Amino acid sequence: MNQDYEQYTEADHRMWKQLFERQMKQLPQIASQAYLDGIEKVKFVADHIPHFESETNPALRSLTGWEVYVVPGLIPHREFYTHLYNRQFPASSWLRKPEQIDYLEEPDMFHDTFGHVPLLSSQAFCDFMAHLSEVALKHIDQEEILQRISRLYWYTVEFGLIRENGSLKIYGGGIISSSGESRYCLGSNVAKIDFDLALVLDTPYHIDRYQDHYFVIQSYDQLYESVTGIEPLLEAYLAQQV
């Protein structure tokens, strides 16, 4: 698929602008510096939807060798992890309507693009996703293992927090693209747990409300290095099932 950029109407560009400006009012104070730097590196601006082929992908390829790959929506695990392994981040091209501004059942291109793409300018973060996808493809026919890998993806790429210069910041795309959860997740009444790979793999998540807890990494290098320890944990889990 391609983005079919001409499909976007003036209303679509206005929606992007509204969502972009709403988030950028709060993100400079609460988002990871790597994400904020990435916004500029991938040339995202408020006045128009990013054009993948002429703007976003040339920037990403020069930075980390990654690119955005257009998909129709949610895709099967094998296809999803294969794209990640090939340094292609799957992203929808459709944009939410005004009545969906605060809630969507399925991620749209604002979530996929604004939420995730800026961090694709970080080499350590990209290496983490590529390494994780390699492990996932190795176990692609083992649903129980994929469930645990999905938990790691969920609690990091989608809903991760990071400690930078002594302060908690957000980097997960599910938070970054959500006005409400961006505020909620840093509240004092929400549990923040130091990242522990074994605990993450054993912790279920839910998709229909804000998270009950968030895992905090100390650096993106820590995230990348954590994948080296995943195989023994997965093998131990498989042994328990025998």
Would you list the domain boundaries of the chain? Answer: 5-241
Kindly report, residue by residue over 156-185, the tens digit of the pLDDT: 999 999 999 999 999 999 999 999 999 999
Which of these, 150, 157, 155, lies nearest to 191 by C-alpha position?
A: 155
Write down the pLDDT at residue 236: 80
Residue 34: burial class (beta carbons within 10 Å; 0-12, 13-18, 19+): buried
Q: Is the pLDDT of residue 53 over 90?
A: yes
Cβ-based neighbour number of residue 195 at 10 Å: 21
Average pLDDT across the chain, whole number: 94
We find that the CATH architecture of domain 5-241 is Orthogonal Bundle (1.10)
Residue type, 123: Q
% the chain with pLDDT above 90: 86
Q: What's the rounded mean pLDDT across residues 9-37?
A: 97
Query: DSSP states of 7-69 as a string?
Result: G--HHHHHHHHHHHHHHHTTHHHHB-HHHHHHHHHTT--SSS---IIIIIHHHHHHHTS-EEE
CB 33 within 8 A of CB 41: no
Q: Is the pLDDT of residue 94 over 70?
A: yes
Q: Is the pLDDT of residue 234 over 90?
A: no
Q: What's the rounded mean pLDDT across residues 38-56?
A: 97
Q: What's the rounded mean pLDDT across residues 117-124?
A: 97
Secondary structure class of 167 (helix, strand, coil)? strand
* Strand bridging mode 191-194 / 213-217: parallel
Whole-number Å distance between alpha carbons of 64 and 125: 10
Write down the pLDDT at residue 3: 94
Q: Is the pLDDT of residue 82 over 80?
A: yes
Q: pTM for this one?
A: 0.95
Whole-number Å distance between alpha carbons of 69 and 53: 10
Residue 167 has φ and ψ, to the nearest 5°, of -120, 145
Q: Which residue has the higher pLDDT, 99 or 150?
A: 150
Write down the pLDDT at residue 39: 97
